[in-house]
């Protein structure tokens, strides 16, 4: 279970195949090795940590501030028998100490907020070793619309993510340059994949609607959630919003061709 954009290797690929492909792309961009210690900021439901430990053999420390996600991920890690590889933390990333070889954060920056971008990127840089690499997957808004979006409230901010804030590519680049010693060494636009991900989510939501109602949610919620998924799909299709995977490298990192 993942609540972030998948990447479809082929148009006919299933949502599950696309989700795994996305995780592999991230691991490859991180150039993960068995000897690495990977830090994940924002555990989600544990998919990234489990995939990295299981398929790349590295050690993973992952942190979240969600008790529900922590407990769910803990059960998944134990079911996979990966307790010796994965350390789960119920902590704010700003309280973390030490340094790691690699760092990943998947669609977490949207919850950081404009006023905390400085401390977010500064802390991420601080947590990386001098040769470290960081990959973030982020939903972004066009540079030209960033200031307007910051000062306005849309449907999603009013009803779905009350404190959500989308960065722009320019904002991310500025914070990396001014608050860290890292450089941007890669950026892949995956916007069209998010539109398809949302379409697949919406189809599955319709198929499972009776289960949603059985859980105690009403028709009003179902209509709102359906609109939210369609609203976001349209936003990505029209490029009102975008999604990208950013790769950042510390000064002593040396890229290798594999």
Q: Is the pLDDT of residue 257 over 70?
A: no
Residue 88 within any structural domain of the chain: yes
Token pair recorded at residue 33: 């090795």
Place 160 in a pLDDT band, splitting at 50, 70 and 90.
Answer: confident
Q: What CATH number corresponds to the domain at position 114?
A: 3.40.50.150
Burial 209-224 (b: 16+ CB within 10 A, else e): eeeeeeeeeeeeeeee
Which range marks the domain in which residue 84 is found? 19-149+163-191+239-249
Residue 178 within any structural domain of the chain: yes
Q: What is the pLDDT of residues 130-144, one digit of tens each?
A: 999 999 999 999 999
Token pair recorded at residue 196: 């398809």
Residue 203 within any structural domain of the chain: no
Q: Angle at the Cα of 13 (from 239 to 142), degrees rounded to 5?
A: 15
What is the sign of the dihedral through the CA atoms of 42, 47, 50 and 56?
A: negative
**pLDDT at res. 149:** 80
What is residue 84's three-state secondary structure?
A: coil
Give the chain's domain count: 1
3-state helix, strand and coil shares in percent for the chain, rounded to the nearest 5? 50, 20, 30
* Average pLDDT taken over every residue of the chain: 94
Catalytic residues, by residue number, are 232
Q: Is the pLDDT of residue 94 over 60?
A: yes
Nearest to 52 by CA among 44, 60, 61, 42: 60
What is residue 170's three-state secondary structure?
A: helix
Contact 17, 5 (CB under 8 A): no
What is the sign of the dihedral through the CA atoms of 164, 168, 122 and 37?
A: positive
Contacts of residue 197, defined as CB under 8 A and 6 or more positions apart, other chains included, come to 5, 6, 15, 18
Mean pLDDT of 72-81: 98
Element (H, E) at 101: strand 100-106
Place 159 in a pLDDT band, splitting at 50, 70 and 90.
Answer: low
Contacts of residue 106, defined as CB under 8 A and 6 or more positions apart, other chains included, come to 4, 26, 40, 42, 44, 48, 136, 137
Residue 255 within any structural domain of the chain: no
Q: What percent of the chain shows pLDDT beyond 70?
A: 97
Token pair recorded at residue 92: 């704010």
Element (H, E) at 140: strand 128-141
Residue 228 within any structural domain of the chain: no
Residue 82 within any structural domain of the chain: yes
Q: How many helices (H) and strands (E) does the chain have?
A: 10, 7
Dihedral through CA 21, CA 27, CA 29, CA 33, nearest 10? -140
Residue 58 within any structural domain of the chain: yes
Residue 232 within any structural domain of the chain: no
């Amino acid at each position: 279970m993942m609540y972030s954009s998948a990447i479809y290797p082929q148009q006919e690929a299933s949502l599950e195949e696309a989700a795994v492909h996305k995780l592999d792309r991230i691991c490859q961009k991180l150039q993960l090795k068995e000897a690495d210690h990977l830090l994940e900021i924002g555990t989600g439901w544990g998919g990234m940590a489990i995939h990295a430990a299981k398929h790349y053999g590295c050690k993973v420390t992952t942190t979240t501030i969600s008790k529900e996600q922590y407990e769910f991920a803990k059960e998944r890690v134990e079911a996979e028998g990966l307790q010796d590889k994965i350390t789960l933390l119920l902590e704010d990333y700003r309280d973390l100490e030490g340094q790691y070889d690699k760092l990943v954060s998947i669609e977490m920056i949207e919850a950081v907020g404009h006023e905390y971008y400085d401390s977010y990127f500064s802390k991420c840089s601080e947590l990386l070793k001098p040769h470290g690499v960081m990959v973030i997957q982020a939903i972004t808004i066009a540079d030209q619309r960033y200031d307007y979006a910051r000062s306005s409230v849309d449907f999603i901010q009013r009803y779905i993510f009350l404190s959500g804030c989308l960065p722009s590519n320019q904002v991310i680049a500025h914070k990396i340059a001014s608050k860290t010693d890292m450089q941007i060494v890669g950026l892949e636009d995956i916007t069209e994949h998010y539109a398809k991900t949302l379409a697949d989510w919406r189809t599955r939501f319709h198929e499972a609607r009776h289960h949603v109602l059985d859980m105690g949610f009403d028709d009003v919620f179902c209509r709102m959630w359906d609109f939210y998924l369609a609203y976001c799909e349209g936003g990505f299709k029209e490029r009102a919003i975008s999604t990208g995977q950013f790769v950042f490298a510390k000064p002593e990192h040396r890229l290798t061709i594999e």
